[in-house]
């Protein structure tokens, strides 16, 4: 009997690699759709796709247990008008391509899990946002809104649809945490701006388990905030990180310095200065078991192991 197949679009990055390992461990055949396929020794099959055009890759979806779409240009870039268009197009185009592919399947995938982001809510201030909150305002909210609208419009009646709005992801080998750790170790880990903006974070292990659970359990459908139930202000977050790394104090970073540093690094200051205060209300209602429900435990696991 052939193993069930999981297709991960845009799966060559940090999150996709973690998902591929997890699903392989659970006995699935994993296929990654990527622009630059390579031969692998771990049993994962990489197949070429451009994120826009239905092509030979579409046959991988026929009979698949699940398709997971992580595709999208990295949001950590200057949010110029040109980049904002590219950020939106890379997300919407991939959703439309997958929708077309599923429509042509004799046996459509059982579930389609679509990545989104808590940027959907815009700058939340100190308002705690559950999944029922409407779309906010701002560039990130518009990108996420277009992304989710394309997914909502996808006509795939035989495929269960799940949206995961992913928060600030914490992992040992990717994302922003290794950069923040280096800054803290050099006594440059102070609060950014006024420090009162919220960070809704998620440990990679819990995020992976959210994907597994929503893939395997038919009772999960619709939109879920993929965040831990422990949103922290930037000042609190950086203070906990400094404590974990035994750096009791660092000078605060005023807003102008955040903006200047982001420009020099080819990043976007908004990502550090906007507030994202979210709760995983639907996961909590489903009694999801967080391995790392609080920031101290998450940082201890990620920053002190193998350090």
Residue 206 in any domain: the answer is: yes
Domain span at residue 80? 5-171+201-227
Q: Look at residue 305 in the predicted model and tell me its pLDDT.
A: 60
Residues in the chain: 307
Total domains in the fold of the chain: 1
Q: Give the confidence band of 41 by pLDDT, cuts at 50, 70, 90.
A: confident
- pLDDT band at 306, cuts 50/70/90? very low
CATH of the domain at 218: 3.40.50.720
Q: Where would I find the beta strands (DSSP E) of the chain?
A: 5-9, 29-34, 45-48, 66-69, 111-117, 160-166, 168-170, 198-199, 201-203, 222-226, 232-233
Residue 254 is assigned to a structural domain of this protein = no
Residue 179 contacts by C-beta under 8 Å, 6 or more apart in sequence? none
pLDDT in tens, 146-197: 999 999 999 999 999 999 999 999 999 888 999 999 999 999 999 999 999 9
Residue 78 lies in a domain: yes
Q: Is 14 domain-assigned?
A: yes
Rounded Cα–Cα distance for residues 305 and 104 (Å): 46
State the residue for tokens 């974990």: 244
Is 102 inside any structural domain? yes
Query: What is the pLDDT averaged over residues 126-151?
Result: 98
Distance CA 228, CA 206 (A): 8
Residue 279 lies in a domain: no
The residue to which tokens 């819990």 are assigned: 206
Query: Sorting pLDDT into bands at 50, 70 and 90, what band is 304?
Result: confident
pTM exceeding 0.85: yes
């Amino acid at each position: 009997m052939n193993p069930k197949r999981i297709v991960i679009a845009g799966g060559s990055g940090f999150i996709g690699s973690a998902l591929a390992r997890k699903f392989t461990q659970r006995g699935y055949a994993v296929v990654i759709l990527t622009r630059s396929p390579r031969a692998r020794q771990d049993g994962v099959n990489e197949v070429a796709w451009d994120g826009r055009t239905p092509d030979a890759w579409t046959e991988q979806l026929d009979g698949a247990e699940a398709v997971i779409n992580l595709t999208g240009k990295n949001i950590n870039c200057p949010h110029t008008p040109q980049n904002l268009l590219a950020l939106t197009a890379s997300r919407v185009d991939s959703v439309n391509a997958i929708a077309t592919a599923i429509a042509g399947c004799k046996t459509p995938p059982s579930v389609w899990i679509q990545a989104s982001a808590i940027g959907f809510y815009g700058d939340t201030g100190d308002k705690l946002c559950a999944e029922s909150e409407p779309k906010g305002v701002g560039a990130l909210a518009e990108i996420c809104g277009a992304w989710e609208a394309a997914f909502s419009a996808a006509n795939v009646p035989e495929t269960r649809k799940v949206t995961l709005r992913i928060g600030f992801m914490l992992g040992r080998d990717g994302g922003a945490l290794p950069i923040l750790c280096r800054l803290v170790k050099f006594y440059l880990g102070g609060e950014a701006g006024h420090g009162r903006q919220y960070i809704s974070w998620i440990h990679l292990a819990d995020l992976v388990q959210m994907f597994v659970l929503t893939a395997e359990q038919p009772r999960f459908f619709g939109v879920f905030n993929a965040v831990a139930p422990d949103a922290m202000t930037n000042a609190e977050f950086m203070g906990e990180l400094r404590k974990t790394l035994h750096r009791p104090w660092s000078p605060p970073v005023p807003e102008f310095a955040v903006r200047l540093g982001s420009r020099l690094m080819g990043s976007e200051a908004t990502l550090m200065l906007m507030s994202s205060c979210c709760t995983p209300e639907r996961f909590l209602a489903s009694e999801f078991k967080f391995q790392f429900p609080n920031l101290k435990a998450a940082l201890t696991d990620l920053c002190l192991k193998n350090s």
